[in-house]
Chains A and B, each alone.
Chain A
Amino acid sequence: MAKHFVKMNVNGKDVEVAVDDRESLLDTLRNQLNLTSVKKGCEVGECGACSVLLEGRCLDSCIYLSMWAEGKHIITVEGLTDENGELTDVQKEFIKQAAVQCGFCTPGFILKAVELVGDNKPYSREEIKRLISGNLCRCTGYMNIVTAIEHAIAHNMKKLGIDYKVSSGFSSLEEKEDSLEEKAKELYKKY
């Protein structure tokens, strides 16, 4: 075992880190670069909580050696917001569609969604389900996550001038609150 200097571009910044050659990219990002949005879940490449964008596509950083990151471009959730801290469409939609519960899987899902939006393809709901199959969520039941990704893709399609229809979800935060309020009233009446 030995320490090596690895140069990589993380969230748009060139960094040089001394890594142990037995270290996973997950450990380097969390422990040395303090990027704790990258979550340590199963550590065997099943849950997708440790997903990072490597050269533009999601990869499980728990089963990727830091030594391999030499010269690579890596993006984590910390690198998504602009200099004013403005959230991306994907993040806004995750909030709007209530796609977050405990939040542990969320960074992985958001990066996957960013990747899918970046493909500039009008993915259907079924295709989205297949393409997020490497990320597990134990709270939400996935419905709202798929909806949020659908809406994020819709924003991008609108920019590209491509016709794309979302199948469900809320169009604004107000609509979501109104709907929840109505549901609460109904339940109140019932019981």
Chain B
Amino acid sequence: MMRELTALTRRELLRLARNPQAIATSLLLPILYLLLFGQAFNIGKFLEGPVLSFVLRGAPTYFSYFSAGMAGFVAVTATLFIGANVIFDRLFGVLKRTAASPATAVSIFGSRLIAGSIQPIGLAFLVLGLAILLGHLGLTGLEVTASVGVVGAVEIVLAIVILSVMFASLFLAIGFSIEQPQTYFAVVNAINLPVLLTSVALYPWGFLPGWLADVASYNPITLAVNVLRENLFAGATAYYPYGPAVYLLGLFGWAVVMNVLATLLAARALAPKR
């Protein structure tokens, strides 16, 4: 099974590498957000001291707060089209060929999950790196005010990896259960924006009405960016009811649920038809 998984993952990565336009397009969104939205929407300048710290939960500037949120958000946007690849592979017969081989559903699904998670993970770290770099180029940049130790770094990596895997699983689940690309894109659009707007990727915590803060607390993007913000900003832990490990655990729960769902749907889609 490892050989099947490796071969199918290689196929996915080769296809990705041979589509530089898709990679360039996926870079455009986070760069525009950082260069335009993040620079212009500097609400922190109207606040200062403890109020600012409360509103941004310990982040020194809105851009710093926002950068961590963007790292989580791109992990979602970069997985959006993974399910579409399943649909196009079905339309062009590639999935039929793979399903006719002895490859197991777990290998077929797993290879797409692995390859599909690599890009968002890479993009999320690129966003963090670019946000820090902007600060050295005379623009507003990400200010890391905490000393990130090994544990903190591992927690940040885990948060981004688990978030990427979770959303890759979700969109693969949709891809394996829908046949028409138009339907897929409609469903994905219906999910994408509500997921973003019920998280704290962009909103300052302190501005949220109570009900939205409650909803956002369980949002997987929120869980991931909480881990990032607690580790990146000194004193942030005082504003969060739980430590990063708790948020990681919640995020892991989301990922397990999505992964099981997607595996079941993939197995059903690849099983002999009834």
The answer to whether A and B belong to the same complex is no
Residues on B facing A (Cβ under 8 Å): none
Residues on A facing B (Cβ under 8 Å): none
